[in-house]
C-alpha cells in the first residue's frame, strides 16, 4: 500500500495530537537531559516529536522525505515561536556527516523504513556512545470504543489498509538496531486518553495512512461524511477520549558495523 502523507499535510498538521509531556519526562528519566544535545529527528513530519525535544534545549535537525510536511511543520513552528532547521531526506541515506549527532530520534516512522539500512545510517551519524530512541504514539482499538468503530469504517473504504488492530507495542526495530551495533536496549510504555473534538478526530483520520495518505480526494470526502454520521449517531461526546499507547525503545551505540 503506497503512502502519500504530503497529500494530507494540512490535516496532518492541524489535527494530529503531539507527544504529551509525560513522554519526554519518561525519556529524560531514562536517558538524561537533552539540553545542548545534537539531535537528528528522523522522519520529522510536521515536528510532533521535535517540538518536545526543542522545548528541552535540544539542537535539532529534522529529516523528512516529503517537503509538504516540512512546510506545514515550519508554519507550526512560527505559530509557536520556536523553530529549528529541517531538510528533505530519507532515513536510508541521511544527508549528514559521520559522527555528527549525539541522538537520533525516530517518531512514528520506523515501520515505513528499510529497517536494516536506517539502523546502519543512524549508527553512521552518531558519535560513539550516542543514543537512539524509536517512539510511537498509537491509538488503541479498545472494544466498544470510537477507535474500534473508526478502524472498521477505514477498512470498508480501504480494504488494503493493514495497520489496524494494533496494541501499541513496537519491538520491530530492535534486531535492526542490534545488527547495526546498538546495545543496552530499554523500553517503556504508558496508556493515556487523548481528548479530541469530533471535528479534530475527523481531521486526524483524514490525515492518516489509511485515508488521506492513500485515497483519492473524492474518496476521502465520502469517508469523512460517513465518519461524521457515525460519530453523531454513536459517539456524540465532546471531547472524545481516544485511548493511546506511548511507547519508547532506546539504545546506545557500542560499535558501528564498519568498526567491527
pLDDT score for 251: 96
Q: What confidence tier does 5 reach under pLDDT thresholds 50, 70, 90?
A: confident
Q: Is the pLDDT assigned to residue 260 strictly greater than 50? A: no
Report helix, strand or coil for 147: helix
Lowest-confidence range among 74-83, 101-110, 217-226? 74-83
Q: How far apart are CA 191 and CA 117, in angstroms?
A: 31
- Lookup result for grid cell 485515497: 215
Closest CA to 206 of 157, 162, 166: 157
Decide if domain 5-140+166-191+245-259 falls under CATH 3.90.950.20: no
Q: Is there a contact between 210 and 158 (Cβ–Cβ < 8 Å)?
A: yes
In the chain, where the domains are located: 5-140+166-191+245-259
Q: Partners of 103 in the beta sheet?
A: 39, 131
Average pLDDT of the segment spanning 135-160: 98
Length of the chain as a residue count: 260
Q: How far apart are CA 242 and CA 260, in angstroms?
A: 46
pLDDT score for 256: 58
pLDDT one-digit tens code per residue, 161-190: 999 999 999 999 999 999 999 999 999 999
What's the pTM? 0.92
Q: Partners of 101 in the beta sheet?
A: 126
pLDDT score for 12: 82
Lowest-confidence range among 76-80, 222-226, 247-251? 76-80
pLDDT one-digit tens code per residue, 11-62: 888 999 999 999 999 989 988 999 999 999 999 999 999 999 999 999 999 9
Amino acid at each position: 500500500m503506497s503512502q502519500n502523507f504530503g497529500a494530507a499535510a494540512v490535516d496532518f498538521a492541524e489535527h494530529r495530537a503531539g507527544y504529551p509531556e509525560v513522554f519526554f519526562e519518561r525519556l529524560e528519566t531514562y536517558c538524561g537531559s537533552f539540553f545542548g544535545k545534537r539531535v537528528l529527528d528522523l522522519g520529522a513530519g510536521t515536528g510532533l516529536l521535535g517540538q518536545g525535544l526543542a522545548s528541552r534545549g535540544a539542537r535539532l535537525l529534522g529529516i523528512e522525505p516529503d517537503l509538504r510536511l516540512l512546510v506545514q511543520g515550519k508554519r507550526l513552528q512560527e505559530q509557536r515561536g520556536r523553530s529549528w532547521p529541517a531538510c528533505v531526506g530519507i532515513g536510508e541515506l541521511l544527508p549528514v556527516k559521520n559522527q555528527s549527532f549525539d541522538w537520533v530520534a525516530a517518531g512514528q516512522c520506523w515501520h515505513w523504513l528499510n529497517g536494516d539500512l536506517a539502523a546502519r545510517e543512524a549508527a553512521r551519524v552518531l558519535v560513539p556512545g550516542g543514543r537512539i530512541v524509536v517512539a510511537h504514539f498509537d491509538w488503541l482499538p479498545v472494544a466498544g470504543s470510537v477507535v474500534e468503530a473508526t478502524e472498521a469504517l477505514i477498512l470498508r473504504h480501504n480494504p488494503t489498509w493493514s495497520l489496524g488492530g494494533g496494541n501499541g507495542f513496537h519491538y520491530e526495530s530492535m534486531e535492526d538496531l542490534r545488527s547495526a551495533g546498538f546495545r543496552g536496549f530499554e523500553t517503556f510504555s504508558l496508556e493515556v486518553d487523548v481528548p479530541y473534538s469530533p471535528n479534530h478526530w475527523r481531521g486526524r483520520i483524514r490525515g492518516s495512512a489509511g485515508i488521506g495518505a492513500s485515497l483519492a480526494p473524492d474518496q476521502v470526502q465520502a469517508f469523512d461524511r460517513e465518519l461524521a454520521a457515525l460519530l453523531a449517531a454513536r459517539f456524540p461526546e465532546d471531547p472524545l477520549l481516544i485511548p493511546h499507547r506511548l511507547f519508547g525503545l532506546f539504545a546506545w551505540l557500542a560499535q558501528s558495523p564498519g568498526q567491527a
